[in-house]
Amino acid sequence: MDSARFSAVAWLREPASRTLRSVLAVVLAAGVVRAGLQSADGGMDNAIVIKAARTWLDGGSPYDDPHFLYLPSAVLAAVPQALLPDRLLRFAAPAFVTGALTVGWLCALRLYGVALRSRYAAAGLLALALGFAPFGHLVVLANWTVVAAAVLPAALLLAHRGRWTAAGALIGAAVAFKPLLVPVLVLFVFARRWRALAAAVVVPAGASGLAALAMPDPAGFFTRTLPFLLKGEDSFVRLYEASPAAVLPRLGVPQGAASLLALCCAAAGLWCAWRRWGRGDAGFTAGGDFTAGSAPVAGAGSVAGAGSAARLGECAAMVMLAAFLVSRPSYDHYLLVVLPLLLAGALEPGAPARTAGFWVALVPQVPGFVWPWLEPGTRRAFKDAFTLCVLAVTVGLCCLRRGRVLLPRARTLEVAEPAGERAF
DSSP type of residue 16: P
Output 284 or 308, whichever has higher pLDDT.
Answer: 308
Query: CA geometry: angle at 244 spanning 258 and 238, to 5°?
Result: 95
Looking at every residue in the chain, the average pLDDT score rounds to 83
pLDDT tens digit sequence for 315-343: 999 999 999 999 888 889 999 999 999 99
Range in 32-41, 51-60, 126-135, 415-424 with the lowest mean pLDDT: 415-424
Q: Within 13 Å of residue 303, how many CA atoms lie on the same side as its CB?
A: 14
**Mean pLDDT of the region 80-108:** 92
- Is residue 266 a part of any domain in this protein? yes
Question: What's the pLDDT at 226?
Answer: 77
- Is residue 418 a part of any domain in this protein? no
- Is residue 263 a part of any domain in this protein? yes
Range in 76-85, 167-176, 277-286 with the lowest mean pLDDT: 277-286
Question: What's the pLDDT at 38?
Answer: 83
What percentage of the chain carries pLDDT values higher than 90? 51
Question: What's the pLDDT at 293?
Answer: 32
pLDDT tens digit sequence for 27-54: 999 999 999 888 777 777 788 888 888 8
Question: What's the pLDDT at 49?
Answer: 86
- Is residue 287 a part of any domain in this protein? yes
> pTM of this prediction?
0.86
- Is residue 422 a part of any domain in this protein? no
pLDDT at 304 over 90: no
Coil, strand, or helix at residue 21? helix
Output 406 or 277, whichever has higher pLDDT.
Answer: 277
- Is residue 419 a part of any domain in this protein? no
**Mean pLDDT of the region 303-321:** 81
Host domain of residue 402? 2-411
- Is residue 417 a part of any domain in this protein? no
For residue 207, CA distances in Å to 77, 177, 203, 214 come to: 10, 10, 6, 11
Q: How far apart are CA 158 and CA 27, in angstroms?
A: 30
Q: How far apart are CA 358 and CA 116, in angstroms?
A: 24
**Mean pLDDT of the region 200-220:** 90
Q: How many domains does the chain have?
A: 1
**Mean pLDDT of the region 298-313:** 60
Q: How confident is the model at residue 3 (pLDDT cuts 50, 70, 90)?
A: low
- Is residue 423 a part of any domain in this protein? no
Question: What's the pLDDT at 265?
Answer: 94
Contact 241, 381 (CB under 8 A): yes
